[in-house]
Amino acid sequence: MTPRLLRPRSRARRALLVGALSLSLTGAVAAVALDRFVIEHVEIADVAAYEASQSESTSQSENAASTEAVVTGSTAQSDTAGITISTVTTGTGDDTVTYYVADVVLTDATALRSAFAQNSFGENITETTSDIAADNDAVFAINGDYYGFRDTGIVIRNGVVYRDSGARDGLAFYRDGTVEVYDETTTTAADLVADGVWNTLSFGPALLADGEIIDGIESVEVDTNIGNHSIQGEQPRTAVGVIDANHLVFVVVDGRSPGYSAGVTMTGLAEIMQGLGATTAYNLDGGGSSTMYFDGALVNDPLGKGAERATSDILYIAG
């Protein structure tokens, strides 16, 4: 009789233990996920001070290059950049696509700067593009590569190294006005700075090379971490293209809003950049992060909601 009475209790006990272990594992996974993707991890609390300290060995004339802009159709003027903003709408009905183009001509490549959310560097530190832009007196800005969502990639901003963990194809902006796609895994941040790199972006994929659409861009996985395995389908997009030295074109495509803008595939984005005359083009963070800011206001309509999703960084031109 005893064995018959104990077996059900043993099974019940095992079930309770398994259930408790499952709950424990679930809690552990949730804690890891929160730590990795939600909780702020500040590595540098005052980026402005850090960049100033890192730049002490360079000449003041080089670092003090003006970043003001000539803004077409507005009263802001200087001699370092010309910015023209235009809106393009194609298609009809649910196939309508709306995107925004900023044609930017710089007279000094260092006028294109980067800024981090909350003036801090680290993981999961976020702020809207508009707020980061306002904090840095930007006349024009777009969202960057959301570096803070991952712990890999080479991050050089305004000539200063923040991260050196090559993982993918990146985009390098040089002080002489050239812009190149490069393999992060074959170089170092120190070598890039020594070669004159001013800013890097680490997202992708690269869309155009020598004016031609790159094969395989629809199947690229930017990351292999949770929730960001692929960037396929018709989506809101942000991209930067190179027309010539110091002549850039930035594009933000709205999406996920039938009747207003469906978004575009990666190939569709490449075709837009190609049509604008870009010879090199590179995809940045998209979705709800895709944002263009100009002259104190939001240009596009992220996800058709009139509100921005917070991000970790921007590219901007000061006003």
- Among residues of the chain, what percentage have pLDDT more than 90? 72
Whether residue 78 is found in the same domain as residue 100: yes
pLDDT band for position 295 (cuts 50, 70, 90): very high
203 shares a domain with 67: yes
Q: pLDDT tens across 69-81, in order?
A: 333 333 334 457 8
For 228-255, write each residue's pLDDT tens digit: 555 789 999 999 999 999 999 999 999 9
Burial of 37 (0-12, 13-18, 19+ CB in 10 A): middle
pLDDT of amino acid 18? 44
Residue 300: the pLDDT is 96
Under DSSP, is residue 232 helix (H, G, I), strand (E, B) or coil? coil
User: Cβ of 27: how many Cβ atoms within 10 Å?
Assistant: 10
Q: What is the rounded average pLDDT of the residues 25-33?
A: 66
Q: What is the pLDDT of residue 17?
A: 43
pLDDT at 202: 97
The whole-number pLDDT of residue 304 equals 86
| More confident call, 21 vs 173 | 173
Whether residue 219 sits in one domain with residue 149: yes
Q: What is the mean pLDDT of the chain?
A: 85
What whole-number distance in Å separates Cα of residue 8 and Cα of residue 301? Answer: 61
Please report the pLDDT score of residue 223 as a whole number: 66
Whether 84 and 53 share a structural domain: yes
Mean pLDDT score, 91-109: 96
**Structural domains counted in the chain:** 2
Maximum Cα–Cα distance across the chain: 96
22 and 124: one domain? no
**What does the pLDDT average to over 297-310?**
91
- The C-alpha angle with vertex 252 and arms to 208 and 278, in degrees rounded to 5, equals 30
Higher-pLDDT residue of 172 and 59 is 172
Min mean pLDDT across 10-24, 165-179, 259-273 is at: 10-24
- The arithmetic mean of pLDDT across residues 279-307, rounded, is 94
Structure confidence at residue 29 (pLDDT): 62
Across 11-23, b (16+ Cβ under 10 Å) vs e yields: eeeeeeeeeeeee
Q: In this predicted structure, which of 17-31, 222-236, 284-298 has the lowest mean pLDDT?
A: 17-31
Query: With pLDDT > 70 as the criterion, what percentage of the chain qualifies?
Result: 79
Amino acid 38: pLDDT? 78
**Helix locations, the chain, DSSP H:** 2-37, 47-54, 60-63, 129-135, 189-194, 266-275
Question: What is the reported pTM?
Answer: 0.84
Residue 33 binned pLDDT confidence (cut-offs 50, 70, 90)? low
> 173 and 31 share a domain?
no
- Measured in degrees and rounded to the nearest 5, phi and psi for residue 204 equal 95, -175
Write out the residue range of the structural domain in which residue 26 sits: 1-39
Please indicate whether residue 127 or residue 63 has the higher confidence score (pLDDT): 127
Q: How far is CA 312 from the centre of its chain?
A: 8
Q: Indicate whether 152 and 177 sit together in one domain.
A: yes
Say whether both 32 and 172 belong to one domain. no
Residue 23 confidence class, pLDDT cut points 50, 70, 90 = low
Same domain (yes/no): 165, 276: yes
Alpha carbons 57 and 66: distance in angstroms, whole number: 19
Q: How confident is the model at residue 149 (pLDDT cuts 50, 70, 90)?
A: very high
Enclosing H/E stretch for 200:
strand 197-201
Mean pLDDT (whole number) for 204-232: 82
Instruction: Assess whether 195 and 289 both reside in one domain.
Output: yes
56 shares a domain with 4: no
Same domain, 15 and 73: no
